[in-house]
Amino acid sequence: MNIKNAPVRLFEAINIMQQGIRNYCRKFTEGGITMGLYVISPKRAFIAFPTSAILDQIEKKARDHFAHMNPQVIFCRYFVPPTLPILSSANIGIQATIDNYQITFSTASFDKTWERETISRALIYCPSGNNMGEWKDWFSPQVSATMFTPLLTASLMTQQGINEVSKHLTQPAGPQFDAFISSYALNDDDIPIGYRKKPWKSLYPEIAKSFDDVSTVYEAYLLARNSVTRFRHSRIKVLLEAYIKSIEDIVNDSQMHEAAKTQMLSLMRGKILSAKGGYQAKRPAVILSDIECAQMLHALIKQFSLGPKKHQVLGEIILFIWLAQHCAFNDVVVKIDDILALKVTDVLLQEQEIVVHEEAIPLPGGLANILEAWIGDKDRVNKRLLLPSLTRDNLEDNLAKYSKNLFRADWQLQPKDFLKRVHVLYGARIVVDVGDQLDYQQNVVGASPYQVTMQGIKKDILKALS
């Protein structure tokens, strides 16, 4: 096979995998399956996981509750509310009874939320047709970790605050600056009361033209900081100081913890943030949610499908993202250049592995099929690059371009954002430190008596229906 046919083969293999994912979801969403769900939660922080005897009582209570529905399956979930801390040990000598647990009953279904999460996680994992549910091995531990712990709450609130402040700083400066100055003039004692509602440029001619060329709120903030010491007119100096304070108050009034506020203000004053909201090469890497990563993959696949040969680079970017995620989920730390340097001979199709840093990373059937289609039958004899058309420049440019179209202009993605395994906290881009906390808590939950006991509850719905 000629290498020129590789993009077409790649597209066809991706299409087959996507169709398999859609068929997998359709089997559940269109099945009309009647299901019951009950959630067990401790009423107090010191209450341990229920004993087998209590679980039997709760299960009988659940079956009686759902008897009128005649459900095909009932499944259980144990949940520690965020307001309750997790104890280091559940064996603290408290003799609990069924009354120590809150039991919440509800009907369950494979709804749009389930379908969206399943399609996203399966698209990142690349399962084969016979094992479409394999992606759960990647994501279930994370889901359990976020359900069982409140430890991430403060960090996520900080991250949300950072996102809100960044969004505000990249908004157009004109309306915001005009509104501030007009409001400021209404209380300016240096202006006669009858004149205070006039256009602000006539009231403050000294800065009437200075702010015409700024495009974002952050640019206006920087200009105000740079100008405040240059104006001899004390009233203009006071005005600019008030404007600077109004912008910094956005940070001070946010949900960020104090250390994060201090760091954010230091960055703003040090001119490290991007004033234009464009591609920010110096910003730290973020960890994407599974949904956002899948949205990016879907957008790239859609564009790639319009002309596989023409858009071969996009096909290679899709492979880059998949390989980066498989390295991350297998705890193999890689850099961008490590993936770009992979050779065709690093892919061991018969073993369904790819060798990175002399470590053999297992490949799911779907990704193995895709790589086999991309490589071809006869082209593996040489040591050519696995991603021959991909460079750091066109990788960065295309990710910035398509993420800008997909998200906001100030949310452009960079290659390094795909080197950490995605998380399951919908709608959040988290910093690496928060991701490390999630990994830590995942290990804590995995070793806790809660998790061990919960695994013994054979009510897992997907397993019951397989």
- Phi and psi of 70, rounded to 5°? 50, 55
CB 425 within 8 A of CB 289: yes
CB 220 within 8 A of CB 177: yes
Distance of alpha carbon 141 from alpha carbon 331, whole angstroms? 14
| Domain 286-443 fold | hpI Integrase; Chain A (1.10.443)
The strand order across the sheet containing 359-362 reads: 347-348, 353-356, 359-362
Q: Return the structure tokens found at 352.
A: 């369904």
- The residues, ordered by sequence, that sit 6+ positions from 448 with a Cβ below 8 Å of its Cβ are 86, 90, 148
Mean pLDDT, rounded, for 67-93: 62
Answer yes or no: is pLDDT of 388 > 90: yes
The strand order across the sheet containing 73-78 reads: 73-78, 35-42, 101-108
Distance of alpha carbon 422 from alpha carbon 328, whole angstroms? 9
pLDDT at 272: 38
Confidence of residue 89 (pLDDT cuts 50, 70, 90): very low
Q: Return the structure tokens found at 107.
A: 């009907």
Q: Return the structure tokens found at 178.
A: 């005009």
More confident residue, 51 or 232: 51
Answer yes or no: is pLDDT of 448 > 70: no
pLDDT, tens only, 164-206:
888 888 888 888 888 998 889 888 888 888 888 888 888 888 8
Q: Taking CA 397 as the corner, what is the angle to CA 432 and CA 402, rounded to the nearest 5 degrees?
A: 80
pLDDT at 181: 87
Distance of alpha carbon 352 from alpha carbon 374, whole angstroms? 14
pLDDT at 254: 83
- Say what the pTM is: 0.60
pLDDT at 286: 79
Range list for CATH 1.10.443 in the chain: 286-443
> How distant is the alpha carbon of residue 407 from its chain centre?
13
Answer yes or no: is pLDDT of 456 > 80: no
